[in-house]
Structure 1
């Protein structure tokens, strides 16, 4: 999928269709001393959810101040695009699906991955109960967001199971994955098992999940932090400080999840505490508080990405990611 949800991100109940307007300045304090610190704006890839908790926590608990910066959260609009916010200068760092980073780099966009928020793929084909395995989607309607990464994602899973991707009818549904499945408008959608998958379970409905790392993909970091290469060259100290603050935020979330759960439930615009708590529980085993980028894992991901046709040639890991920040 691989849409800016976290890219390919997130429809959180019916309210998620009404994402908050793009806005900066969430978190932190507004005292004179705070205003003196340089601001680092972090663009979210979609409606606030558990993946973003370390960013909010860093601003809420003063981790950014300890690293001598001011983190500001840039929320998405109804058509989320954190990469566009980054390139237009409305953000300094962006949360992005790693597949969308690969696509952007393949087009020569001057950005680079600088940290990983999770250490496992979050993408899955979520299907109606009658779809017992991916190849059962032959000849059926599959909902896609309209972003270029969705088609190759569906293709990778279906073809790995021996299905005929060419027979599938792709229907553009935007980011209405949950409602499209509940309304039986499509047989399956590419989505996040930790977000849309949890929403559907909370609604008491049984759907099948075909996770991409069960169908040929290595266990790559799905959601990454990226910045423009020019910004990194000019403000490496700010990037390192922002990553340090987000690491502190991640540690705080792991040690004290209660405040983070309440904050994300509020910021999401309708998820509720029970749903948010379930999403946190699903993510906890795969969150790395160090935001580590593992070169061997990324190299395996790059080879797989080229193999399944997501990109024309394997990403250059040394050029597309910055290690050791």
Structure 2
């Protein structure tokens, strides 16, 4: 399976500034936000890759009609290597998108007022994968050949924290170089690569990036200050249906996965079954156990901001209450 998507997701630190600057100058013609003949309000969500279990709740809400129940004619547009959700939402061509928490901070420093309204993953599925028995702790990464997206914030954090001397290699999306080199480590997602490698007969261990101390939120659902100000009812309705969709997908992924496959034929049902099972605790564990799906805390946003400043990825502190809101999560 081509997993260049993981490189795109966690490599946004390097290219986000350029993309977001383009977004600020982009075409602001809006293609959503109008009413249909039956009175539904058109809206669009742009995800961060092709349809997959990491987007399962939104597709469940679409399939089960939860958005229509809330008065929304919803379009879920898949992302891809040439698609930037931040650019599309910032330019007004969609109301909602998926991105990483880091990109919200980078965008706001560039003057683009994106706001997180929910975090799908309480614990990021991003992992560092090693051959079975080769790595038990982050300190064991010393001396390894490590394939990551250049400039990834989490990797700069880990190298600095654990004082690692490693051979950095650019992740290309191919697993073949990792498979051939027993002393290598590759980035990936716990929801996919370990299963794919096991099917190839490659036994692995992996470390969650989150467990290093870099506790970012993954697959953050975001919008803009403008949408929050001018369409609060739309945001409320969208999030109500989205939360309902994710709770439905948690318990009924086998029903929804064939619908995901219709949207992404290259993804096998076996991989989706593994992904849906693996992601459950990452989404509904942690703070979500107490506060519900999508919860985000001031403490984690503050810590992430401080880490990005320490790494030189951003330079300015901002009141974190402007970065995110849990108002629309139905708490």
Change (3 A) 1:199 1:302: farther
Q: Distance in 2 between matches of 1:246 and 1:66?
A: 12
Q: Deviations over 1:213-238 (max 9, x none)?
A: 222234x4322101122122221211
Q: Deviations over 1:244-278 (max 9, x none)?
A: 11111012112322212222244333221111111
2:253 matched residue in structure 1: 257
TM-score norm. by structure 2 comes to 0.77
1:199 matched residue in structure 2: 196
Q: Distance in 2 between matches of 1:185 and 1:145?
A: 20
1:50 matched residue in structure 2: 53
2:27 matched residue in structure 1: none
Asked if the contact 2:145/2:168 (under 8 Å) is kept, the reply is: yes
Equivalence map 1:5-154=2 (5 Å): 36-128=39-131, 131-132=134-135, 134=138, 141-145=145-149, 150-154=151-155
Deviation at residue 202 of structure 1 after TM alignment: 3.8
Asked if the contact 1:105/1:111 (under 8 Å) is kept, the reply is: yes
Change (3 A) 1:173 1:286: closer
2:160 matched residue in structure 1: 159
Q: Distance in 2 between matches of 1:55 and 1:8?
A: 24
Deviation at residue 306 of structure 1 after TM alignment: 3.5
3-state SS, counterpart of residue 36 of structure 1: coil
Q: Deviations over 1:134-173 (max 9, x none)?
A: 4565566533345xxx433222223333313xxx554444
1:303 matched residue in structure 2: 306
Q: Distance in 2 between matches of 1:4 and 1:231?
A: 30
Deviation at residue 5 of structure 1 after TM alignment: 5.2
Q: Distance in 1 between matches of 2:9 and 2:307?
A: 20
Asked if the contact 2:10/2:149 (under 8 Å) is kept, the reply is: no
Change (3 A) 1:322 1:124: same
Change (3 A) 1:249 1:87: same
TM-score norm. by structure 1 comes to 0.78
238, 244, 257: which one pairs with 1:242? Answer: 238
277, 280, 297: which one pairs with 1:281? Answer: 277
Mark the runs of 5 or more structure 2 residues left unpaired by the alignment.
13-34, 285-291
Q: Distance in 1 between matches of 2:179 and 2:92?
A: 38
Asked if the contact 1:74/1:91 (under 8 Å) is kept, the reply is: no
Change (3 A) 1:319 1:77: same
Residue 213 (structure 2) pairs with residue 216 (structure 1): yes
Change (3 A) 1:192 1:307: farther
Q: Distance in 1 between matches of 2:45 and 2:127?
A: 26
Mark the runs of 5 or more structure 1 residues left unpaired by the alignment.
10-31
Q: Distance in 2 between matches of 1:155 and 1:131?
A: 21
Deviation at residue 129 of structure 1 after TM alignment: 5.1
Deviation at residue 72 of structure 1 after TM alignment: 0.5
186, 190, 198: which one pairs with 2:187? Answer: 190
Residues matched between the structures, number: 295
Q: Distance in 1 between matches of 2:164 and 2:223?
A: 38
Q: Distance in 2 between matches of 1:209 and 1:309?
A: 27
Change (3 A) 1:35 1:44: farther
3-state SS, counterpart of residue 327 of structure 2: coil
1:16 matched residue in structure 2: none
